[in-house]
A and B are shown apart, each in its own frame.
Chain A
Amino acid sequence: MGKTLAEKIWQEHVVRAKEGEPDLIYIDLHLIHEVTSPQAFDGLRLSNRKVRRPDLTIATEDHNVPTQNINLPIADPVSKLQVDTLRANCAEFGVRIHSLGDAEQGIVHVVGPQLGLTQPGLTIVCGDSHTSTHGAFGALAFGIGTSEVEHVLATQTLPLQRPKTMAINVNGKLKPGVTSKDIILAIIAKIGTGGGQGYVIEYRGQAIRELSMEARMTVCNMSIEAGARAGLIAPDETTFAYIKGKPHAPEDFDAAVSYWKTLYTDADAKYDVEVDLDADELEPFVTWGTNPGQGIFLNGSVPNPAEIADAEERGAAERALVYMGLTAGQPMKSVAIDTVFLGSCTNGRIEDLRAAAEILKGKKISTSLRMLVVPGSARVRLQAEAEGLDKVFIDSGAEWRNAGCSMCLGMNPDQLKPEERSASTSNRNFEGRQGKGGRTHLVSPLVAAATALRGTLSSPADL
């Protein structure tokens, strides 16, 4: 019987397999940031261990860096200590780092692909659950905890249980105005936040094949919100063209491509589970609740918990509506927004900024809200400025910021106030995720921009 793509990559990375023990898997690329690494480096020091492969390791500063006045020292002393600790650790252990102010600084999952380090067939890890993003290139990429960060630093391997495989077939064609963000939000609403638990998801089908590389990253990015540690897409010409010319693209590109072309699921391979989704039926999607599975078409209304059969889900929905300050039956498009956040590892790439700028061009955002535009990396920011997108955002009344995770998780000063409501292109609508008491609606960049103009949740078709 043939193998799935995930199984092929797994098998190529088994350092050691023994009955009754997890497989020892080799890690090709280890990405590091300031929040989940200090205790790992400390562990190395305590055990007098080195970083085994600094040449397969790269660090950047993203989670708690400020997005304004980046030329000044970081104002929050605790954040500053964490960033300084990363810099000192990288210097001590010989790890490459891109610090605030450097053109390659930015969200770790934007930096890897833009440098051409993210390539098909690799195993990629990072102490961040959105490492699944890199799966868009046909890599097996997943988030790890700090103990595992230390393990990879010391050994360049991880002991791992072999995951099960799930295919999600997104058949048909997307309608105009519907994006890859809507695909993944619809998938999560369909299979639930635990639906992918224990699986690697492979996204397949016409609608996936037709996505750009950056749009594919948005899909794979939110695999974790469906409970899957990793999500991937078989590489194709779109993938190869994206990598070509990037700083760390293979020198013998043709040889690499001929290997990459072997990275697909065999016709006779079997997945443990298959799920089908019809792209033609998708519309712009938005979340109404406090987990990413609580989503609905933007044209719909806030669901009535009383109509939910499962008691556990009903209770969760009731609590979510109280927290979100919403009423059952209320049309989603009537919901007024205070802050629009465009950015994050989900939707902070150049194509996302271009798509939003296209809608905002020559118009003013509603006076009832603020809009933060936070490029995913300093490189994305420079590219946007070269294209004049910064002026479009600024002229429309939005704030043009520096690169980082920013309001996606509110570790830096970019936070919602209690009961403040956002339309956010990020990935998590958990209680308090964007600031204590803040209320988050997850949306695509197109919906974010249209919402900024109208003041209430809107799609470009409403303009």
Chain B
Amino acid sequence: MEKFVTHVGTGVPLRRSNVDTDQIIPAVYLKRVTRSGFEDGLFAAWRSDPDFVLNQPEFKNGTVLVAGADFGTGSSREHAVWALQNYGFKVVISSRFADIFRGNSQKGGLLTILLSQSEVEDLWVAIEANPALAITVNLAAKTVSYADQSIAFEIDDYVRWRLMEGLDDIGLTLENSDSIDAFEAKRSAHKPKTLPIRA
């Protein structure tokens, strides 16, 4: 995973709440067996509408998606994170994220930032007034800045450290494989096993 420390980019105002993962990437686009190439499916249904925000030339190259509440609800598909990243997004800002989506984003290095709904709305207004507005996300300082604004955000320290170091979770866990061995040694015998197959 790439390290995430700071990012400077332009914003895309997505004035919708309850953006579920079926909207982020519909199921028919989930058939690839790789982690790349999902940008085609990103917001596929909405992109067929010429008025959709990503079809506006001034927002085409945005890297900071600013969305309404309850972003990423529904299906656990990590393809939603990959589609956003494959398209070029580095950061998503919302006033509330679905749990599984947020967890997935943190595994893959897509930074999800929680701001209040009024801070989101201020950001929408600012981006719409000036689509070229530079937005600076500083994970080290835990701030989102634009124009003369600097907004602090909260993020779990452990998650922040992992993102800033670009660390692989599996590698971190395997450093503790002794504790896993010890746990398994005292696991109850009546817990089910899938093998051998019983009919």
Contacts and interface: CB of A to CB of B under 8 A. Distances in A.
A197 B99 contact: yes
Nearest to A26: B183
Interface in A165-195: 193-194
B151 interface: no
A87 interface: no
B179 A24 contact: yes
A96 B195 contact: yes
Interface in A218-235: 224-225, 227, 229
Interface in B63-89: 68-70, 73-79, 81
Given A151-B173, A227-B99, A79 B31 contact: yes
Nearest to A16: B179
A316 B68 CA distance: 10
A431 B190 CA distance: 44
Interface in A37-90: 38-39, 42-43, 47, 49, 52, 54-58, 63-64, 76, 78-79, 81-82, 85
Given A82-B33, A431-B23, A147 B18 contact: no
Contacts of A214: none
Contact of A252 (B27, B156, B183, B190): B190
Interface in B179-199: 179-180, 183-184, 187-188, 190-195, 197-199
A316 B17 CA distance: 7
Contacts of B156: 161
Contacts of A47: 170
Interface stretch (B6-14, B100-108, B133-141): B100-108
B34 to A, nearest CB: 7
B100 A145 contact: yes
A454 interface: no
B90 interface: no
A20 B161 CA distance: 11
Contacts of A433: 22, 27
Contacts of A57: 194
Which of B28, B68, B69, B187 has the largest count of A CB atoms less than 10 A from its CB?
B28
A154 B175 CA distance: 12
B133 to A, nearest CB: 23
A410 B28 contact: yes
A28 B26 CA distance: 31
Contacts of A332: none
A344 to B, nearest CB: 13
Contacts of B23: 430-432
B198 A15 contact: no
Interface in A120-160: 122, 127-129, 142-148, 150-151, 154-157, 159
A227 B98 contact: yes
A411 B28 contact: yes
A393 B81 CA distance: 41
A360 interface: no
A144 B76 contact: yes
Contacts of A49: 170
Contacts of B98: 194, 197, 227
Given A127-B76, A143-B76, A147-B108, A432 B26 contact: yes
Nearest to B104: A145
Given A155-B180, A247-B198, A252-B190, A198 B99 contact: yes
B45 interface: yes
A76 B69 CA distance: 36
Given A55-B193, A248-B194, 19 more contacts: A39-B34, A42-B34, A54-B195, A55-B194, A56-B193, A76-B31, A117-B194, A143-B100, A144-B103, A145-B100, A145-B107, A146-B78, A155-B177, A194-B98, A227-B99, A247-B199, A248-B198, A250-B192, A436-B45
6 contacts: A42-B35, A154-B170, A156-B180, A194-B98, A224-B100, A428-B74
Interface of A: 15-16, 20-22, 24, 26, 28-29, 35-36, 38-39, 42-43, 47, 49, 52, 54-58, 63-64, 76, 78-79, 81-82, 85, 96, 116-117, 119, 122, 127-129, 142-148, 150-151, 154-157, 159, 161, 193-194, 197-198, 224-225, 227, 229, 247-248, 250-252, 255-256, 259, 290-291, 312-313, 315-316, 319, 409-411, 428, 430-433, 436-437
CB-based closest 9 A-B pairs: A145-B104, A147-B107, A145-B78, A38-B33, A143-B76, A129-B76, A78-B31, A146-B78, A55-B195
